[in-house]
Structure 1
Amino acid sequence: MAFAKSLKVEIEPPRPPPKEAVDQGSRSVADYGGSERDEIRKRVESFKAHQERFTREREQYADSLLRRIRPITKKSSLSGS
């Protein structure tokens, strides 16, 4: 007990929680100028357009890759016979 009393322990007061960089009340939701149904419809349209763009880019990449590979595969199949 004497040893415990000989130790000096400083207890810091609790720190206040950190302030957020953005105030919760100032956040704004994208305004699509209408009802929630209109907002959902526009978001779905945007998502579909985004997915179609990815599909189109993926197909273009595959086509370009196949165009580069075809001459190589034709040469190797001819020389292997």
Structure 2
Amino acid sequence: MQQGPSQGTSKKFTPFGGGTRLCPGSELAKVEAAFFLHHLVLNFRWKIDGDDIPMAYPYVEFPRGLPIEIEPICSES
């Protein structure tokens, strides 16, 4: 049984990738992620929840995930 060009999946297709099939919302997603991180860093105080602070080289592994405590910074004007 032979597969023709119309059968199977194309190896040239990359979802959300580059080329002619570039995701039209990729730039919007980058702006929204930057907006979210901007407000998370400026408006909230956050610290690692628990006693163990994972550190390793060359990369950090999180066997329990990374539980964090987040509390809003109250700015009274």
Name which structure has the greater RCO, CA cutoff 8 Å, separation 6+: 2
Larger Rg: 1
Q: Which has the larger strand fraction?
A: 2
TM-score (norm 1): 0.30
